[in-house]
Amino acid sequence: MVELRLQNVSKEYVVESKTTFALQDINLKINKRESVAIVGPSGCGKTTLIRMIAGLEKPTSGQIFLQGKPLLGPDPKIMMVFQNFALLPWKNVVENIELGLLDKPENERAEMIRKYLDVVGMEGFEENYPRDMSSGMKQRVGIARALCREPDILVMDEPFSSLDQLTARNLQSEILRFYHSRKLKPDVLMLVTHNVQEAVFMGDRVIVLSQRPGHVKADMIIELERPRNIRDRKFQDYVDEIVSLIT
Ligand code: ADP
Ligand code: MG
């Protein structure tokens, strides 16, 4: 079943009468239960693409359909995790997560927060402020805030790029374990990254974007067992193939 469809989506930015063509004619169908990684060189339009899918930017031309209906703006069915966590420094962990739930009754909020703090392994840190947390912890909060809306689609823009390698790999494994357990939403995982190894580790499918203006250069199914082993020969073959497409 098609969850998300992009039809001839292009995006240009005009700043002081200078036009930047960020993305050109993107056509994609994303199915239910797919985990999709989007890779491409820096500046090729990855953030632009994922922000359009999250309803935070509008295509200059073309259309995006969510479950068959045109996507016209932010939708609670699609939640985003940001590269720089986007936490408010003057709010503690609970208050930051609560920001995503202000339309829910208070008792329901508390329950959701407890549930998703547990999912991301942040119980016991309820009162902490961002200044007292590592990058990994901050991103766990960012993920909890997105997950607690129980979105059908979770989109993540370079969510691990400011974490050290070990922290990033741990968090990636945890997210995959959670996603594959199928106990809770989301149905679709979308990840933008410039890190090819991360894309092959996370994605059932890897979409390779060209240099700016980004268009779909390759769309590959990654046929590797899970959990994936980055030292596996076949894993490395996928990485090599994608790297050669990008460079
Ligand atoms: P990536 O995430 O792949 O590095 P971006 O989507 O951030 O790429 O940017 C793609 C291109 O669009 C870049 O050339 C960038 O400078 C430009 N761009 C992105 N956002 C804006 C904006 N708000 N205004 C003007 N240009 C932008
Ligand atoms: Mg980016």
**CATH number for the domain that contains residue 37:** 3.40.50.300
Question: Are the C-beta atoms of 166 and 151 separated by less than 8 Å?
Answer: no
The answer to whether residues 162 and 206 belong to one domain is yes
Pocket test for ligand 1, best of 13, 60, 161 (most atoms within 8 A of CB): 13
The answer to whether residues 17 and 57 belong to one domain is yes
Digit-by-digit pLDDT tens for the chain (247 residues) are: 899 999 999 999 999 999 999 999 999 999 999 999 999 999 999 999 999 999 999 999 999 999 999 999 999 999 999 999 999 999 999 999 999 899 999 999 999 999 999 999 999 999 999 999 999 999 999 999 999 999 999 999 999 999 999 999 999 999 999 999 999 999 999 999 999 999 999 999 999 999 999 999 999 999 999 999 999 999 999 999 999 999 8
The domain boundary residue, chosen from 150, 169, 184:
150
Question: Are the C-beta atoms of 103 and 179 separated by less than 8 Å?
Answer: no
Distance from residue 124's CA to the centre of ligand 1 (Å): 38
Q: How far apart are CA 107 and CA 112, in angstroms?
A: 9
Pocket of ligand 1 (CB under 6 A): 13, 15, 20, 22, 40, 42-48, 212
The answer to whether residues 217 and 160 belong to one domain is yes
The answer to whether residues 63 and 170 belong to one domain is yes
Pocket test for ligand 1, best of 14, 23, 44, 48 (most atoms within 8 A of CB): 48
The domain boundary residue, chosen from 122, 150, 178:
150
E strands, the chain, in order: 2-15, 18-31, 35-39, 61-66, 69-70, 78-81, 153-157, 188-193, 205-209, 216-221
The answer to whether residues 142 and 159 belong to one domain is no
Number of domains in the chain: 2
State both tokens at 231: 């030292």
The answer to whether residues 178 and 218 belong to one domain is yes
Q: How far apart are CA 227 and CA 163, in angstroms?
A: 21
The answer to whether residues 238 and 156 belong to one domain is yes
The domain boundary residue, chosen from 150, 175, 193:
150
- Put the strands of the sheet holding 69-70 in their side by side order: 18-31, 2-15, 61-66, 69-70
Reduced to 3 states, what is the DSSP secondary structure of residue 131? helix
Range(s) of the domain holding residue 236 = 3-77+151-246
Q: Specify the length of the chain in residues.
A: 247
